[in-house]
Structure 1
Amino acid sequence: MSLSWSPDDLRLIDKAGELEIAVKRSDGGLRPWIPIWVVCVGGQVYVRTWFRRDTGWFGHALRSRNARIRVPGLEADVAIQDIGDTWTDITDDVDAAYRTKYGRGGAGSMVTAAATATTLRLDPGRAPKD
């Protein structure tokens, strides 16, 4: 059973200019908090980095699949789903959301093909262990 975001949670996340994410280590501890841009589309929460890599917060997120996020008024555990660039119906909507929220100029690096390939969905709760 997957959990969904409440309307209040989505409002708080979407209102925030940045979301802070701390990827969970294998021992359950948190890595440092990193500020990133965030958008909400279709009742889901999405984040990206400007290019796909195995290092930094993004690489840790791909390996862990679990993190903690915070915005003013909300702190929550999340399961990380790698959407990448394969779900074009979703990634096109996420591109549009970045442009709307951050402006065409500001969102430029977040709507390139390289950035689209880094699309992650953040679901409330924890990812199941393999």
Structure 2
Amino acid sequence: MTAWTPDELDRINAETYFTVGATLPDGTTPKTVDIWSVPVGDRIFIRSYNGTQGKWYGPALKTGRGRISAGGVDKPVR
């Protein structure tokens, strides 16, 4: 995982929603959801509406990995 570039942050933060999904141990990202984000400096924060029962959040907690897509940016995340 690499840090966000200023251009990536601008493009992601210009969107109302972005797509997030957990990356499973086999490397797949089978379930994704559209979600809001909150930018803080050079970081992006999100929260699961359904807590650990969310279709992306529980698996993301288990693997510590995910993928986001917004504004033409598609990137692995932790």
* TM-score range normalised by the length of the shorter chain: 0.7 to 0.9
Partner AA of 1:12 in structure 2:
R
Deviation at 1:46, TM superposition (A): 0.6
Alignment of 1:1-130 (within 5 A): 3-79=2-78
> How far 1:43 sits from its partner (Å)?
1.1
* TM-score, normalised with respect to structure 1: 0.54
Contact 2:48/2:54 (CA < 8 Å) preserved in 1? no
Structure 1 residue 51, shift from structure 2 partner: 4.7
Larger Rg, first or second structure (1 or 2): 1
Post-superposition offset of 1:72: 2.2
Residue 55 to residue 35, structure 1, CA distance change in 2 (3 Å): closer
- What secondary structure, in the 3-state scheme, does the structure 2 residue paired with 1:48 have? coil
Amino acid at match of 2:41: G
Q: Which runs of 5+ in 2 are unaligned?
A: none
Number of the residue aligned with 1:92: none
Aligned residues: percent identity?
27
CA shift digits 1:53-93 (9 cap, x unpaired): 255211111111111110021111111xxxxxxxxxxxxxx
Relative to 1, partners in 2 of residues 1:40 and 1:29: Cα closer, same or farther, differing over 3 Å?
A: same
Give yes or no for contact 2:14–2:71 (8 Å, CA) kept in 1. Answer: no
State the TM-score, normalizing by the size of structure 2. Answer: 0.85
1:28-57 deviations in Å (ceiling 9; x for gaps): 111222111112101101101235325521
Structure 1: gaps spanning 5 or more residues? 80-130
Determine which structure has the larger helix proportion and give its number: 1
